[in-house]
Amino acid sequence: MAALSLQKQYTLGELYSLADQCSHDYPATLARKIELLTEVQILLGRKAADAVRDYKRVYADRKRVYAEAYIAANNHREQRAELAVTVLRIKEADAEADKVRWSNAVESNDQVINSLKYSLKVLLAEFGNNASANR
């Protein structure tokens, strides 16, 4: 798989497309699909990490703006501070949704890889049994 990474930087879509082209009928092509989806897993992990960082940054911005607005207000401090962070709360919610989406994608892809590994194990056993029967 290292050769794939060194040759070209593939996008998630390209990797998924290459993986979809792999047959489940032969151990070599199924193993190739697992390799491609493992590469996808790396990219998904990076996206998930970026989403967590983005969420934490928006959260920190919201807390800072809230504190600044609270300190600056003469009366109704909490209400004024909440009004000051309304837009940031929406950005925070969007960032949190992205964080969850990418984390779910990592987990889902991991499940697909595990399923394919099991299928490969079964396929190898079948090929081994057929090879023994033909002798």
So what's the pLDDT on residue 134? 60
pLDDT per position as a tens digit, 74-122: 999 999 999 999 999 999 999 999 999 999 999 999 999 999 999 999 9
Cβ neighbours, 10 Å, residue 55: 20
So what's the pLDDT on residue 128? 76
**Residues near 22 by Cβ (< 8 Å), separated by ≥ 6?**
29, 30, 32, 33, 36
Q: Which of the residue ranges 2-6, 42-46, 50-54, 102-106 would you say has the lowest mean pLDDT?
A: 2-6
Average pLDDT, the chain: 91
Phi-psi region at 11: left, alpha or beta (left = phi > 0; alpha = psi -120 to 50)? beta
Q: What percent of the chain has pLDDT over 70?
A: 90
Contact (CB, 8 A) for 47 and 72:
no
pTM value is: 0.79
Does residue 71 surpass a pLDDT of 60? yes
